[in-house]
Amino acid sequence: MEYLDIVDDNGEPTGHIVERKIAHREGILHRTAHLWLLRRKDGQTEVLLQKRSENKSSFPGCFDISTAGHIPAGCDYVESAIREAKEELGVDLDPRDLHETGKRFVRCDDSFFGVPFHDRQISKFFYAFCDKDEGDFVLQKEEVAAVVWMKLDDALTAVETNAIPHCIFLGELQKVKDEIEKENANE
């Protein structure tokens, strides 16, 4: 069983925990960490998208954030983002590699395989640079079917026009691009 901290509207733990399955069944507010992996290639910024495993209970086979995950009870955002990168992609990161980009409230009411799904989460999202080729990642097959590098602008267009099956929030990916452009302007 996976236990999550129940959090307040600011994403701060309340001192209570809940089983993940119950949090999604009842719509209890909890936390997730999202990590966008980027690289610079041929003068352009690319973003790594993961294709979710067909065995996932939500959004199977869809393109998603480079790596993301629920934050176990007692853990924090950065620690969880680093752990997920290692587990899902085989990438070792240091906390100094992560650039916090934003925080958002996620609300999703759906049904997957006939089971109601009520997701309420506070997500912090980060980016980090990772100069690996697609074949160099060690994928956790239960979670990730494949990864693909896309030019950041192409990924934004693909998400905006639904040119690829995805479960990516456009505003989050746009915020990552905005932060990269600010960083590039300051160099």
Could you count the other beta carbons within 10 Å of the beta carbon of residue 116? 12
The residue ranking higher by pLDDT, 82 or 57, is 82
This prediction's pTM: 0.92
pLDDT above 80 for 46: yes
Domain ranges of the chain: 33-99+123-185
Token code pair at residue 108: 């999703």
pLDDT above 90 for 155: yes
Distances (CA, A) of 81 to 63, 76, 84, 127, 157: 18, 9, 5, 10, 26
The residue ranking higher by pLDDT, 96 or 1, is 96
- CATH superfamily label, 33-99+123-185: Nucleoside Triphosphate Pyrophosphohydrolase (3.90.79.10)
pLDDT above 80 for 113: no
